[in-house]
Structure 1
Amino acid sequence: MTKSDLRPHAYVLAVQDLAGSTAYFVDVLGFAREWNEGDNWQCVIRGQVRVMLGRCPDAMKPCDLGDHSYFGYLETDDVDTLHNEFASRGARIRTAPANKPWGRREMAVETPEGHRIMFAQRI
């Protein structure tokens, strides 16, 4: 690895409802709270994925961005098990797991504010 190589650290999302967004990531998507800065920031983590949620009450809603509201493409070893876990907790599943011609099995999920995440596994 060179000094200029990049490593994943965190996605940063503007959210209008910090408490509600944090609860969705923790209670529905299975993340854990990692750190927070008062009522302005909350970082959640699951595995090697961090999401930093920043309170921005006046920001444009992600649901107004349509397909541009996707922020992450996350790989897992078993997207069907993840689907079952999320569905049992009431996740907003946009598309159920399906095999794609590019060699991935994918599932799309969105947050209550409209941020979209793609979960995938190699097939």
Structure 2
Amino acid sequence: MADMIASRIVLAVQDLERSVTFYRDRLGFVEDFATGGWSFLSRGSCRLMIGHCPDTPPASTLGDHNYIAYVQVTDIDDLHQEFSQRGLTPLHIPETKPWGIREMMVVTPDGHRMMFGEEMA
């Protein structure tokens, strides 16, 4: 049986240039490739594909149901400090949850919510 070895987050965005700038400048992703209204970005083993879809309703219209990614990290407090230095204010700062994960949430320009979490030992 084949193993699933990785996943890629795919997002529809209304303004591709604005989104690439956000992921690069605020979240520290690198744009690996761009073609035909799509941009492929990465940071560590996290991969994103963002596509220009101007007719897509903004994720912000979904209220609390617009989560698009949960990204596991090695040091959430260090990541929070990095994001702050990059000019990003998270929606929720790092907080240790009852399930043993320290989490932080950010919101993208299109209103998608990304949760970053570190498992606590």
State if a TM-score over 0.5 links the two structures: yes
Q: What stretches of structure 1 of length at least 5 have no aligned partner?
A: none
SS of 1:73 mapped into structure 2:
strand
Size of the aligned set, in residue pairs, is 120
Q: Distance in 1 between matches of 2:31 and 2:95?
A: 30
Q: Structure 1 segments of 4 or more deviating over 3 A?
A: none
Stretches of structure 2 that go unaligned for 5 or more consecutive residues are none
Instruction: Tell me the residue number matched to 2:31.
Output: 33
- With normalisation by structure 1, the TM-score equals 0.93
Partner of 1:8: 6
Verify: 1:18 aligned to 2:16, yes or no: yes
TM-score (norm 2): 0.94
Choose from 78, 83, 87 the match for 1:86.
83
| Percent identical | 44
Check whether the contact 1:14–1:55 (CA below 8 A) recurs between aligned residues.
yes
Map of 1:74 onto structure 2 = 71
Q: Could you report, residue by residue, the CA deviation over 1:71-113 in whole angstroms, capped at 9, with x for unpaired residues?
A: 1111111100000111111224110000100000000011111
The equivalent residue for 1:63 is 60
CA RMSD, 1 decimal? 1.0
CA deviation string 1:23-50 (max 9, x = no partner): 0000110000111114x00011000111
Shift of 1:56: 0.3
